[in-house]
Amino acid sequence: MILIADLCYRESSLSHDEFVMPIAEIVRKSGIPARVIHYSRISQKDAAVASGIILCGTALRDNVFAKRPDTFSWISDCPSPVLGICAGMQVLALVFGGSLVKSREIGMKTVTVIKKDPLIGPETEFEAYELHNFSVIPPDSFSVLAGSDECVQLIKHNQRPVWGVMFHPEVRNEWVVENFVRQIC
């Protein structure tokens, strides 16, 4: 089972249907059960029993999660692979000691691969949908795998199966989520 963390400011917000449910659908199409839980209710036990965890994105002005990084303390000890999408990547950066910087991108952008990784597959460059007001300065424990003209687009923890993508793969790059699911199954 893959745990899908809803990072929207409140449970059942309108953004849930836009940012969370498409990820759940991609996972389910891959043949793996998915369980959606709002981030405020995720426990260490929930994380420990999941075969993988996906931290979903949020609406452009929804940054409540960033004011509560302690809510995500379970991530640092989580044995499961983790994929953070947009806001989820921002959470990963904060949890592991990185920081957020203002960087607004909206719309399609070219993402250039800097370092190969199974999450990206054979791609060297691709178009991706962006919707964010902040990017990350990755912590020292992460490597940058891809970027755009504006910001870091893909990071991976140097020791653990933990990735962050700044773009929204549910819009045009479903293969990123499919590759994540394939790696953990």
Catalytic residue positions, numbered: 86, 168, 170
Q: How far apart are CA 88 and CA 56, in angstroms?
A: 6
DSSP string, the chain: -EEEEE-SSSTT-HHIIIIIHHHHHHHHHTT--EEEEEGGG--HHHHHH-SEEEE----TT--GGGG-GGGGGGGGG--S-EEEETHHHHHHHHHTT-EEEEEEEEEEEEEEESS--TTTTT-SEEEEEEEEEEEEE--TTEEEEEE-SSSEEEEEESSSSEEEESS-HHHH-HHHHHHHHHHH-
Q: How far apart are CA 140 and CA 89, in angstroms?
A: 15
